[in-house]
A and B are shown apart, each in its own frame.
Chain A
Amino acid sequence: MSGQDSYEHNLLARASLDHCVKCTICETQCPVAAVTALFPGPKYVGPQAERYRQGQSVDRSLDYCSSCGTCTLVCPQGVKIAELNSVARAAMKKDHMPLRDRLISRTTLMGAAMRPVAPLANAALACRPLRVLAEAAVGVHRDAAMPTAQRQTFTAWQAKHQPPDGAGRRGTLVYFHGCAGNYFEVETSIKSVELLEHLGYGVLVPKQGCCGLPLQSNGLFDTARAWVRRLVAQLDKAPQDLVIVSSTTSCSGMLKHEAREILGVEDAALRAVGARTRDLCEFLLAEAERGELPLDFAPLDLTVPYHAPCQLRGHGLGTPAVQLLRLIPGLTVVESGAVCCGIAGTYGLKKEKYAIAQAVGQPLFDKVKEVAGDLAVCDSETCRWQIEKACGVRAVHPVWLLHKAYGLS
């Protein structure tokens, strides 16, 4: 079944290539083409090259696309450029998927393996000789940003967590933390739940696995489809009339549009789950717009750079975090204005792409260093790791500042 729905879907994305008028706007906005000639650019590998593909992709250079999705976002004619590229890349890699790409696309596995030995794992990841070995053996660049393993998972915290009185008086929400939110960004997940409970919501956390996004962006479509379907079923274990709130932008984007637009997964359950999924900041800003968000923030005398990740822009929401953070007195939020941090999920980890990813991120790094004291704000976890590594600052989800301004930390 999966093989077939991918092909049908490919045809749908393919049909959108007819809209291209060669205006070249996508190429002027592509952050990868701007820094390397190795990538021929989104117009070239998308609507142009697709006319030459017959279920096979002979143009290996398309693998330099980082899947940031900027091209689709800026196309004035509605060509699904990034989607075309993702599908073509999956076809290209089908016969020779590198072991590295199979490994790094399994965040859950990495998190579960690292947690019991977290200090050791972190030390290993910080150990240069080991990283040099890993680069040679697996192809993960020695300097690439890596997550920090935690001793306790979010679900372990959640199991022992006692909600404060009043949590639930405004209703119940489902929380979608994503795998990084369970294993690596535990603090972000905890703060998200505490914040929602502080606002009066009861929070349900159904058992949840990976959304399949890293698999998808590495071209492992069949497994990605199976995983996103499983996740949908898991989220559906909670009452199906509840809003799902997520602090993981890229994974919620998978539920909201990428699973359909790239993997071609067409089913009613996915559509329904996607439709009731909200990005955490989107959800809170809507509360604020309705006058339902308490504005009793303690002042934070801070200037922070904020970077809107590509994946968030793909949601088509604007930048709710910026509007939200600007409600905090004393806090100055400076938008990075940069297109992409370069990491694009797992792209910037790869040995052959690391330098490109760093060059893509350079304008962002410059801006962060110019603005930041020791703190930067960004919605997406892999982007935060990239910013931290490149700029030597702490990069946090916007919920950290809200949590603090409410006096919860």
Chain B
Amino acid sequence: MRKLNADVVVVGGGSTGTGVVRDAAMRGYRAILVERADLAQGTSGRFHGLLHSGGRYVVADPLSAAECAAENAVISRIQPAAVERTGGLFIVGPGDDPDFGDVFLAGAKAAQVPAEEISPGAALRLEPRLDPKLRRAFQVLDGTVDGWQLVWSAAASARLWGGQILTYTEIVEIIRGSEGVRGVRAVDRKTGEAIEIECGFLINCAGPWAGRVATLAGVRPVEVVPGRGVMVAMAHRLVNRVVNRCAKPADGDILVPVHTVCVIGTTDVKVADPDNLAIPRAEVRQMLEAGEALIPGFQQARALHAWAGARPLVKDDRVDDSDTRHMSRGMAVIDHAARDGVAGLVTVGGGKLTTYRLMAQHAVDAMENQTGRRHPCRTADEICPGQTPGRNYLVSCRLQEREADRLDDQIICECELVSRRALLGLWDEFPQASLDDLRRQSRLGMGPCQGGFCSARAAGLACATGKADGAQATGLLRDFLANRWLGLAPVLYGDQVRQTALDYWIFQGALDVDHLPAAPNRPAEPPAAEDQGSPPTRRQASLACSAGPAVAGEGVSL
């Protein structure tokens, strides 16, 4: 049993929780964050990568729009390496109502979201793959953001201010005294060690899981309605700016160039359990068709991977709870002292990644409202550690890095240009890391071949450097392949079938990876999809390969 002590415990290592622990630490509190998996492993790493300009909300939710516009500038400044300032376009397509463009412009003006109309020809010069029949186009300041980089750099800042971050640590109990929350019990999932943290305050930032955490605290249920969004990454950037459909927000109306891929998203379906997110073929198909509406020929391009994330929307009584799209995206901060008479507890919900910092500020303000202590929030003023002011991410960054070191370093992941030194450096920093943990840090296995070549290299590296023995390395490899498979299975058509068939044959036909002796591994992550939790059997893979385009016909459900 490990005993710790803090002023405030933050539950949930997504963007909000990490923002809260940073904010609290910067205000001088002893803050500890507990996260049951890896940082940004849940919702904050499972989105399309859009850093909103606010344009999307100017008509329906002007307050959110204004917040996005302001926070976009703040995040681009304080966490430049996580943000690519791509710019964005809102496009009125041939089937869309051109008058909506006027409503959009008026809304943008009112919400102070910079937007400028450009001619269709100018839009096509910027993005030649757009539908040449587009009717109107508006330029906005959308950017793209790496959720993991965002969260880690905020975490690094929190640590610098004395904040502690415990990943793979799951809360099992919230201890309440007569005056409210006085501690939590947790367990380290990698070592099994029990942890008790004495604290005077708890901020619940568990996103889609916030309802469960509130239940542990024994307060009146907090209703979080997880909205499942399915997203599909394409193998290369078909556009270099964010492309939005200029119409009432709907499914699949944003194409986001992030890192080396572009992501079409997203669906929005109410689900019961955020731990059980399916990636239905029909929704994948819907996304591909939506992409086709923005970019003719989209369905012929290579899909790379699909995934589902859960929106952490807090239930709002004003709308029917089956319609998550029109629920408030504004942040909800619930003060349980006022609501339930339980002091020392605040729950944060709703919001968007773009406004995570502001949300954290409101959450810590809510804590200070309860405790009566006041400190100014300084999170917008200080650039996170390891960041060069003004130096935003560019898609070419990593190619430039490898250009400098490729002659004296091996490249482990060729698609995402991960070098041996970079990977081993991360491994030294996180000795307990699974290959999937390293993937989130480095993008290992996130390119077109989806780990087909680099995962075996990485497992071999683990052996060669004494980080794992043969059986453990096999375990690492298998877990990684199983996780990649979750996102590959729904997009097996066209070029990605050829790749998967080759990879499959290497792993099953040459390495016989399923029958190698393997050691049980470090805790697996919470399952992300139902009924797809294991690597493909021979039969599944052969079915997948014959399934044909997901966009035509039913395909074979795995």
What residues of chain A have their CB less than 8 Å away from a CB belonging to chain B? 4, 7-8, 11, 14-15, 17-23, 37, 40, 43-44, 48-56, 58-61, 77
Contacts and interface: CB of A to CB of B under 8 A. Distances in A.
B452 interface: yes
Sorting the interface of chain B by its residue count into under 10, 10 to 19, 20 to 34 or 35 or more gives: 35 or more
Contact of A58 (B236, B301, B400): B400
A194 to B, nearest CB: 49
Contacts of A61: 403, 406
21 contacts: A11-B128, A11-B129, A18-B235, A19-B302, A19-B498, A21-B498, A21-B502, A22-B415, A23-B502, A48-B415, A48-B417, A50-B236, A51-B260, A51-B415, A52-B260, A52-B396, A52-B398, A53-B395, A54-B237, A59-B402, A77-B498
Interface of B: 125, 128-129, 235-237, 240, 260-261, 297, 300-302, 394-396, 398-400, 402-403, 406-407, 414-415, 417, 447-449, 452-453, 495, 498-499, 502
B128 A8 contact: yes
Nearest to B129: A11
Contacts of A8: 128
Given A4-B125, A21-B449, A52-B396, A59 B502 contact: no
A8 B302 CA distance: 19
A18 B302 contact: yes
A52 B418 CA distance: 13
Specify which of A21, A49, A56 lies most central, judged by the most chain B CB atoms within 10 Å of its CB.
A21
A14 B236 contact: yes
Contacts of A54: 237, 240, 394-396
Contact of B399 (A11, A37, A59): A59
Contacts of B398: 52
A344 B528 CA distance: 52
A21 B414 CA distance: 11
Contacts of B453: 22
B407 A37 contact: yes
Contacts of B236: 14, 17-18, 50-51
Contact of B396 (A14, A15, A22, A53): A53
Nearest to A45: B399
6 smallest A-B Cβ distances: which pairs?
A18-B302, A52-B399, A51-B260, A58-B400, A58-B396, A51-B236
A84 to B, nearest CB: 11
Specify which of A7, A54, A77 lies most central, judged by the most chain B CB atoms within 10 Å of its CB.
A54
Given A15-B300, A17-B236, A51-B395, 9 more contacts: A19-B498, A40-B406, A51-B237, A51-B415, A52-B396, A56-B396, A58-B399, A58-B403, A59-B403
A56 B399 CA distance: 11
A53 B240 CA distance: 10
Nearest to B411: A44
B498 A52 contact: no
A4 B125 CA distance: 8
B400 A51 contact: no
Nearest to A17: B236
A44 B417 CA distance: 9
A408 B125 CA distance: 57
B194 to A, nearest CB: 45
Specify which of A17, A19, A20, A52 lies most central, judged by the most chain B CB atoms within 10 Å of its CB.
A52
B302 to A, nearest CB: 4
A20 B499 CA distance: 8
A48 B498 contact: no
A4 B128 CA distance: 9
Contacts of A4: 125, 128
Contacts of B502: 21, 23
Nearest to B234: A18
Nearest to A8: B128
Nearest to A37: B407
A49 B240 CA distance: 16
B400 A59 contact: yes
A31 B269 CA distance: 54
A269 B406 CA distance: 45
Nearest to B449: A22
A39 to B, nearest CB: 11
B36 to A, nearest CB: 34
Nearest to B414: A48
Contacts of B240: 54-55
A18 B417 CA distance: 17
A34 B302 CA distance: 30
Nearest to A43: B414
